[in-house]
Structure 1
Amino acid sequence: MELQRIGAQHPKIKQVLAIQRNTAPNPHKMIIAEGLWAHNLLLAHDAFIDTFLWCPEAAYGDEAHKRAVELASCAHLAYQVSERTLARISERDRPDGLLSLALLPRWEPRDVRLGASALIMVADGMEIPGNLGTLIRTLDAAGADCLVLTNRRTRLTHPKVFRASQGMVLTMPVLDFERVEDVISWFRSNNVDVYLADTDGAKNYRSFDYSGARTAFVLGSERHGIPRPWHEAGYERVFIPMLGSADSLNVSISAAVFLFEARAQKNHW
């Protein structure tokens, strides 16, 4: 396979570095995928691959070489890079020769079809990319329908989001709202029962029946909690009992507790 060779000064390499370091605007919502498992996900989910970078010297085994041929044929652009250039742009200790820029799917509320017992998680004020990625992975594991973000303070395109989500950011619908009021309106129009994760005046999360309705849980940031507009909407408040000295759980762990309780009820486990 013959590809044009490019070096560290090529604009595409500079673009990869900017996205890797999260230092420049990313209006097209490009993400970085590294390694065989990540590229298998890109291909399995028909992701649009803008640029494929291939370093045959760093590849392990025949599978990587076979996948490189497939990726080069379907990518918009494909180049070959040296091990030195790959080491410059890779976040891995031992890169395996495959790195791509791919487009993150864009989701709108109209794209998400909510079933009669849909399960939704809202994360307000999310600011740590690794937590966001883990949250997306948790939603996927629980069979949730979508993640809603409000007052977001980290980019979905941050490399840590892709890695922590194990690539599930490619498949889990993520709706990004600028205003809490717009989410509340969307929930009301779709008859969604909403529960706020808040210890103040709340009831045990296992006190409610989530089995027969569309259900959404709202988690606030660990620093600021849930903003006032959510409370003003009059939703039920729920809490997870803490039996030790800690007063709360990490946001993704809290999400797992709520989601799997609701899923257990909806699926009659």
Structure 2
Amino acid sequence: MPAPDPITSPQNPRIKNLLKLQQKSSERRAQGLTIVEGHRELTIAHGAGVRITALFVCPELAGETQLRELRGLLGSGTTEWFEVSKAVFEKVAYREGSDGVLALVQPPRRTLESLPLPAAPLLLVLESVEKPGNLGAILRTADAAQATAVIVCDPRTDLYNPNAIRSSIGCSFTVPTVATTRAELLAWCQQHNIQTYAAALTDHAVPYTTCDFRGPTALVMGTEADGLTPELMQACDHTIIIPMRGAIDSLNVSTATAILTFEAVRQRQ
């Protein structure tokens, strides 16, 4: 149940810690925690088996119906409850139009070796992703397509950055996600006979619609600014493109990933 005395000061140690966790990936790693804001995102995280250690609610924003649903969801488990004044909640909320619900959760930590692989896995590989919004959008695609996993090589952003979780609408927790290095990824794919398809604008790239994605497949995507590194591009088994008919020569990486992913899904049906 909520604590009897609402938190009304931004100097409260718990509030100061929320801000540190929100702003610093080093704090999130050190504490093994991240922040989830929003009733829907929290419900998805809970359904995925994520441990919710503390819940901060603003009754004025959340409303009694939503609070009642949260009590039913979390029951009398180990989650700590804290009521927060509207002024304090607005200080820690990181999105507009917040619904007054914010939680501390323990994100899962996975490795390539721990990933359960079906006979023909469909993997989305992102190299050096740095924008949490792009990562979140790709996680939504992976969830919708029921991809096996999202693998991030040499990430420049925390996989459980609160903004990535927000952009994914909680799919950060429904899709197995692993951070690794380029060398480890390539060795692992070779070990499991996974064909790697580098999405890159090169002279020898072939249209993605000519490829067979029905077997063990890894779709390998680069950053919007620089694309794939030459090392990873050259190490992949195939190079593919999405043919462009207009003035531009590329798409947003999350859009391109969605196109390739659902072509693989179409073929597998």
Common fold by TM > 0.5: yes
Residue type of the partner of 2:94? E
Cα 1:96–1:72 shift into 2, 3 Å: farther
Residue type of the partner of 1:139? A
Equivalent position SS for 2:251 = coil
Partner residue of 2:185? Answer: 183
Cα 1:214–1:244 shift into 2, 3 Å: same
Partner residue of 1:82? Answer: 85
CA distance in 1, matches of 2:236, 2:92: 49
Residue type of the partner of 1:235? D
| Structure 2 contact 196–236 (Cα < 8 Å) conserved | no
Equivalent position SS for 1:170 = coil
Partner residue of 2:136? Answer: 133
| Structure 1 contact 31–101 (Cα < 8 Å) conserved | yes
Q: 2:206 aligns with which of 199, 203, 207?
A: 203
CA distance in 2, matches of 1:2, 1:49: 14
Q: 1:43 aligns with which of 42, 46, 56?
A: 46
1:204 Cα offset (Å): 0.9
- RMSD across aligned positions (CA): 2.0
Cα 1:120–1:142 shift into 2, 3 Å: same
Residue type of the partner of 2:44? L
Structure 2: segments with no counterpart, 5+ residues: none
Partner residue of 1:259? Answer: 261
1:56 Cα offset (Å): 2.2
**Which moved further from structure 2: 228-237 or 140-149?**
228-237
CA distance in 2, matches of 1:92, 1:68: 23
Give the TM-score normalised by structure 2: 0.90
CA distance in 1, matches of 2:172, 2:2: 32
CA distance in 1, matches of 2:238, 2:99: 49
1:69 Cα offset (Å): 6.2
Equivalent position SS for 1:74 = coil
CA distance in 1, matches of 2:254, 2:26: 27
Partner residue of 1:150? Answer: 153
Number of matched pairs: 265
CA distance in 2, matches of 1:167, 1:89: 19
1:55 Cα offset (Å): 2.5
Equivalent position SS for 2:28 = coil
Partner residue of 2:3? Answer: 3
Partner residue of 2:232? Answer: 230
Equivalent position SS for 1:107 = coil
CA distance in 2, matches of 1:236, 1:46: 37
Query: Is 2:122 the counterpart of 1:112?
Result: no
1:59 Cα offset (Å): 2.4
Cα 1:108–1:246 shift into 2, 3 Å: same
Structure 1: segments with no counterpart, 5+ residues: none
CA distance in 2, matches of 1:69, 1:12: 24
